[in-house]
Amino acid sequence: MPSSNTQLHESVEVATVPEQPSWQIKLLYDGECPLCVREVNFLRKRDAGRRKVAFVDIAEDDYTPSSHGGVDFETAMGRIHAVLPDGTVIKNVEVFRRVYEILGMGWIYAATKLPVIGWIVDTLYEIWADWRLALTGRPDLATIMSDRQKRIECNTTGRCRLNDDDD
């Protein structure tokens, strides 16, 4: 038994708790799609600097899937995706439901939670997503992927060809 003059010291380990991100949802969007940019600009205004939504432009050459739920560029180009703070990836109309809800406008997509209406909206989104590039006057996904890869390689190696007619 320790004497009254003896001090007992306890070793206390302080566990570091991972810092919770300030955002509630990370929205992955195509910054080269005029309609997508229009929607994002609207949502940024609604967010009003609160940073509830982190906006990530997948069209940027430095986009890294590992930092964004593992969603690669090609997959992100096919359908809209978002990442939740716990790492869960969501896609399609569910992204809009969540973003609008987080920004206090959940009533806009509330009806899409009803089975029949939800199915109709989901189906319409699928059609839109399949035709988005053509409807916005952009090349097909294979061309976009190829151009992106060339651009990234050019930036990485510093050796570029201006066009394929240089042979």
Query: pLDDT for 61-112, tens place per residue?
Result: 999 999 999 999 999 999 999 999 999 999 999 999 999 999 999 999 999 9
Tell which residue, 65, 82, 97, has the closest CA to residue 29: 82
Query: pLDDT for 10-67, tens place per residue?
Result: 545 555 555 678 899 999 999 999 999 999 999 999 999 999 999 999 999 999 999 9
Q: Indicate if the pLDDT at residue 163 is higher than 60.
A: no
Query: pLDDT for 52-68, tens place per residue?
Result: 999 999 999 999 999 99
Tell which residue, 153, 156, 148, has the closest CA to residue 74: 148
Mean per-residue pLDDT over the chain, rounded: 88
| Helices 93-102, 115-135: inter-axial angle, 10-degree rounding | 100
- 31 touches 58 (CB < 8 A): yes
- 68 touches 124 (CB < 8 A): no
Give residue 20's pLDDT.
75
Give residue 11's pLDDT.
46
Give residue 38's pLDDT.
97
* Helices within 48-164 (DSSP H only): 73-78, 93-102, 115-135, 141-157
Give residue 154's pLDDT.
87
